[in-house]
Amino acid sequence: MARSILITGASSGIGEALAVEFARRGYAVAVAARREDRLQALAERLSAAGAAAALPLVLDVTDFAAIDPALERAAREFGRLDVVVANAGVAYSLPVGRSRFEQVRRTIDTDLTAAIATIELALPRLRAQGGGQIVAITSVAASRGLPLMGPYSAAKAGLHRYLQALRAEVRHEGITVTELAPGYIDTELNRGMRSRPFVIPVERGAAIMAGLIERGAGHRYVPTWPWALIVPLLAIAPTRLVAPAPRKP
């Protein structure tokens, strides 16, 4: 039986590229996202790329009650779920005290609460089948509160700490917990940014991530170099080095 994987936030960006990469590796791939038209087109691409099966699932992860039925359908269609990837996320430029709170709340709901909900609802299935793998996508931004990215940094840092606790609790249960923390990977979420240091193509990022997932990595930056060196320095850098220069009147 082919290995199976479910990926949330799969209609674009990292999620879409990961789905294509795992299809090439012969997995049965369930892709979950809000945009049905893009999901249907993606499912056809996955089949053409070599997926053992391709299952599109229309899902808004902030509709928490809809997550469990999506997991159940994928598990039923594939017979089991070997890997569940909590990838769905949003990223807005949100200056503190000057942003619409709806965007702040959506960031926390999507990037933190929905990711935790996906994992919490997947775990009983993995336990019942005797094991599996949880994968969550955080960010190098989890290491430091970055200007204009306060809610995003907070959500990813919260998810990082949750994953640490999860890994400690399930370490004797046959469940692997993988946290992947990308730097700048070329996607729609960051193409409007003025600076994207060390940016890499999304296809390369997905290939790196798929390899780390298959190896059962714990926590890794993507790509490892130079972020494994930069992130610890970023975490302790003085605020003046990461703060934007004041605008001239």
Catalytic residues: 152
Torsion of CA 169, 210, 93, 188, to 10 degrees: -150
Contact 67, 59 (CB under 8 A): yes
Sign (positive or negative) of CA dihedral 70, 74, 76, 82: negative
- What are the residue ranges of helices labelled H in the chain? 13-24, 36-49, 67-78, 101-108, 114-128, 150-170, 202-214, 224-236, 239-242
Q: Is the peptide bond before 56 cis (omega within 30 degrees of 0)?
A: no
